[in-house]
Amino acid sequence: MENNLLALLLLLPFCGSVLAFSLPSDRLRPLLLPLCATPHLALTFLVIQSGRPLTTANGWIGVDPLSRLILPVISLLFLGCSFYAVGYLRCRIAWGNRNFVGCLLLFLSAMTLATISRHLGLLWVAVETTTVASAPLIYYNRNRLSMEATWKYLLLGSVGIALAMLGILFIAYAGLAGGEHVSLQLDDILHGAANYSRPWLRAGFVFLLVGFGLKVGFAPLHTWKPDAYGEAPGLVGALLAGGLTSVAFLALLRTLQIMDAASEAVMAREAFLAMGLLSIAFAAVFVVRQPDFKRMLAYSSVEHMGILAIGISVGGVATFGAMLHLINNALTKGVLFLAAANIHRRFGSKKVADARGAISLVPLSATLFLLGFLAITGSPPFAPFISEFTILQGVFSNGHFVTGGLFLFFLAVIFIGMGSTVLSVVFGTPPEKTGTGYENYRDTFATTGVPLIMLLIIFVLGVYLPDPVRHICADAAALLEVRP
């Protein structure tokens, strides 16, 4: 029964993708997205409701506390984006959507496989598949800038995944040099990691950190993000910022588990801390006076990946805060990217100078964009305030006062920088001519319902944290805090 559930989780979106490529109707094809995403979320809840680990007979795929955290995040986010996509693609029926719908469902299948992989080789294949599946989504607008963004994404993503492959090979050789049976199955590695050759293991960790860190978008490995997020459709940006980065971060957490099991946690967590602080610093520099509000969201993604890394590096209660922040970041990014997509559609431009006064033209989208900004910058009563405050509590309680001071300083700079851009878009004076957008576009439930529901979830999680969510985050944090 358990094996069947895991197989269905993988096969449902994959079969939906095959059907999407073969279905001739451009009008009916987008309906496959919610038709596959809804049972996928239902199956996800069936999988995570059990408190014990689920593993297939060969041990290559399975569900542990980290999987239970990531699976509902990507499934819920994809479900919201799938309903949004139906209305979005209906407005662009002349563009065709065969590749778009097929690649979206393949993307969900690949993210699911990466989340439940318990074999480093299979994890590598799944992460690489997410790159291949998402590249055509970035190119959907079919212009020079989207072409440039797609090639940049593919090139840098391929470099990252190649470095990750070297890291996996080094870890395998570390086991061979340490006299252990060579295996890439995660449980086998964790069992024998204490005997692995230290130089080879450390080299493997560095390559994995850089390789998967490029997919996460840590600075200075983030250079693909502003172009990809800026040129992709809004729903694709939401899935990249909330889904793909979460899956890639999970891959990094697997490497941290290995280093913990080998008693090399100090080196690993110091590296996470350095990447986290550097990412927040880069975001603070580039978000100030940012003229493109979708690229601004890309730098916000760099910031929050850095926040996650800092929480993991500090440990203790900060790890719980990081696990909760992963959920909050994904859903809040969904609000921001979908609201930004509506504003972009109305004005026909992502430039702040061309898209001012959105509150008077698309009031609901502008309000969602403003509230999403307040949420993502850690303003109460939204959930990111709780998770960021928990991380800060862990930082200061563990004596990392310099880290805490820098953290607060960069957060303040980012708040001011993002606020300047967001307020200009929302409350500025509308231009006389609104570019080449849909001048007759108005907010509808089809385009604003999904981000509104996501924002309500973020608000509820900020006011009251349900016990199931608390337990999932606590179990994931406890797994990362295990010491040999």
Task: Report helix angle 383-397 to 445-463, nearest 10.
Answer: 40
Q: Which pLDDT belongs to residue 441?
A: 75
Asked whether residue 445 is assigned to any structural domain, the reply reads: yes
Please give the DSSP secondary-structure letter assigned to residue 93. Answer: G
Alpha-carbon 50 to chain mean position: 25
Q: Which two tokens stand for residue 428?
A: 């500025």
pLDDT, tens digit, for every residue of 342-385?
999 888 888 888 888 899 889 999 999 999 999 999 999 999 99
Over range 281-302, report the average pLDDT: 92
Q: Which pLDDT belongs to residue 437?
A: 53
Q: What span, in angstroms and rounded, lies between the C-alpha atoms of 302 and 218?
A: 6
94 has pLDDT over 90:
no
The mean of the pLDDT values for the chain is 90
In 3D, which of 228, 208, 206, 108 has the Cα closest to residue 161? 208
Q: Which amino acid is at 247?
A: V
Asked whether residue 185 is assigned to any structural domain, the reply reads: no
Asked whether residue 364 is assigned to any structural domain, the reply reads: yes
Q: Higher-confidence residue: 245 or 433? A: 245
Q: What total of structural domains would you count in the chain? A: 1
pLDDT, tens digit, for every residue of 64-75?
999 999 999 999
pLDDT, tens digit, for every residue of 154-178?
999 889 999 999 999 999 999 888 7
Q: What span, in angstroms and rounded, lies between the C-alpha atoms of 166 and 207?
A: 7
Q: Which pLDDT belongs to residue 484?
A: 38
324 has pLDDT over 90:
yes
pTM: 0.94
Asked whether residue 158 is assigned to any structural domain, the reply reads: no
Asked whether residue 118 is assigned to any structural domain, the reply reads: no
Asked whether residue 191 is assigned to any structural domain, the reply reads: no
Q: With beta carbons less than 8 A apart as the criterion, state whether 78 and 135 touch.
A: no
Asked whether residue 399 is assigned to any structural domain, the reply reads: yes
In 3D, which of 119, 71, 1 has the Cα closest to residue 476? 71
- Give the Cβ contact number of residue 183 at 10 Å: 16
3-state secondary structure (DSSP) of residue 53: coil
3-state secondary structure (DSSP) of residue 444: coil
- Give the Cβ contact number of residue 482 at 10 Å: 10
DSSP structure string for 17-36: HHHHHH---TTTGGGHHHHH
Q: Which pLDDT belongs to residue 242?
A: 92
pLDDT band at 442 (very low <50, low <70, confident <90, very high): confident
Q: Which pLDDT belongs to residue 127?
A: 93
Q: Higher-confidence residue: 215 or 55? A: 215
Task: Give 292's strand partners.
Answer: 351
Parent domain of 306:
264-484
Residue with tokens 């006389």: 432
Q: Which pLDDT belongs to residue 55?
A: 67
Task: Give 54's strand partners.
Answer: 63
Q: What span, in angstroms and rounded, lies between the C-alpha atoms of 476 and 479?
A: 5
Task: Give 270's strand partners.
Answer: none
301-305 own/partner pairs: CB under 8 Å, 24+ apart: 301/217, 301/225, 301/229, 301/241, 301/245, 301/333, 302/217, 302/218, 302/219, 302/222, 302/225, 303/279, 303/410, 303/414, 304/329, 304/333, 304/376, 305/216, 305/217, 305/218, 305/245, 305/249, 305/276, 305/279
Asked whether residue 362 is assigned to any structural domain, the reply reads: yes
The answer to whether the peptide bond before residue 220 is cis (omega within 30 degrees of 0) is yes
In 3D, which of 270, 266, 302, 308 has the Cα closest to residue 286? 302
DSSP structure string for 152-186: HHHHHHHHHHHHHHHHHHHHHHHHHHTTPPP--BH
Beta-carbon contacts of residue 326 (< 8 Å; ≥ 6 apart): 69, 70, 73, 246, 249, 308
